[in-house]
Amino acid sequence: MIPAGEFVSSGRETPMIRVRTLALCSLVAPVLSLGACVSAEKYEKSLQVRRSLQEQLVGITNERDALKAQLINRDQLLEQARGDLDTMQNDYTNIQTEVDTLATNNRELAIQLSEMEINALPGSVSRQLAEMAADYPDSIEYDESTGALRFMSDFTFNSGQAELKRSAGSGLNALANILQSNAADKFEIMVVGHTDDVKPSRSRVKYPTNLYLSAARAIAVRDALVQSGVNPDRLTIAGKGEYQPLVPNIKGGTPENRRVEVFLYELADSNTGAEMEVVEVAEESMEPMK
């Protein structure tokens, strides 16, 4: 018999011990499982935070690279703008030099003009000029009082251009024949270009002002007369731009003022054989470029 309160191991668990062990395991297992779940949830959240930060870093890096590219592009544009400004300054300097040169030529021409003696045209010459103008009523006018023959620019040139239209050739050939006649060959010839006050637009690079355009048109008429046989020593050209209108200019353009005039005159000293090919340019104020 085993006394009360004593425990004797026989190498085998009693039913009571097995029950207690199972009860203890049933209490510990849920606690361990709960701890494992909490750790996994925190880990997943940390991964999400990390991925979010990485995405933000990629976005910030892309923005930084884009800003760098914009900065490089801005620097390139700035350098190009500086180059363009230097080119424009050089162009302005060249134009100013040309204007100064033409202004000097203008003063020399004024001196030469003061030595000219304007005589009435012989009746036969005036009559031939009037008949020629009557043959080309749309493009040529003749003013008997001044002896001026006017080629209307709209029929002689395209807008803003100084190349003669093909249709102007016959009228200029007819004029050249008259100028080479015995009655007219003693006269000097002045070709003067005029415009209205509409500034050149499409041809502005080639003709910065109306003075340039009017002079270029006078040169074109002069060259056509030379090609038709007129002695170049007899020819003088001038450009007046918009500064001697026949009628007041109106908005949108004034065809009457767009013209090339041809004058015949005698020099006081007819022995002078000097060729006068001077472009007259009115004084213009040109503000420095900023």
The pLDDT tens digits for 19-36 are 455 555 555 555 455 555
Structural domains in the chain (count)? 2
Cα within 13 Å of Cα(215), Cβ side: 19
* Confidence at residue 21, expressed as pLDDT on a 0 to 100 scale: 54
Q: Which residues pair with 265 in a beta bridge?
A: 188
Residue ending a domain, choose from 114, 139, 172: 114
Place of tokens 């029950």: 19
Q: Which of 63, 89, 114 delimits the end of a domain?
A: 114
CATH number of the domain that residue 255 is part of: 3.30.1330.60
Query: Per-residue pLDDT tens for 161-198?
Result: 999 999 899 999 999 999 999 999 889 999 999 999 99
Contact by Cβ (8 Å): 217, 168: no
Q: Final residue of a domain: which of 114, 131, 152?
A: 114
Pair 108, 123 in one domain: no
Q: Domain residues for 97?
A: 18-114
> What is the H or E stretch that residue 33 is in?
helix 15-114
Please, what is the Cα angle at 219 between 213 and 221, to 5 degrees? 105
Are residues 139 and 104 both part of a single domain?
no
The answer to whether the predicted template modeling score (pTM) of the entire model surpasses 0.85 is no
Burial 139-175 (b: 16+ CB within 10 A, else e): bbbbeeeebbbbbbbebbbeebbbebeeebeebbebb
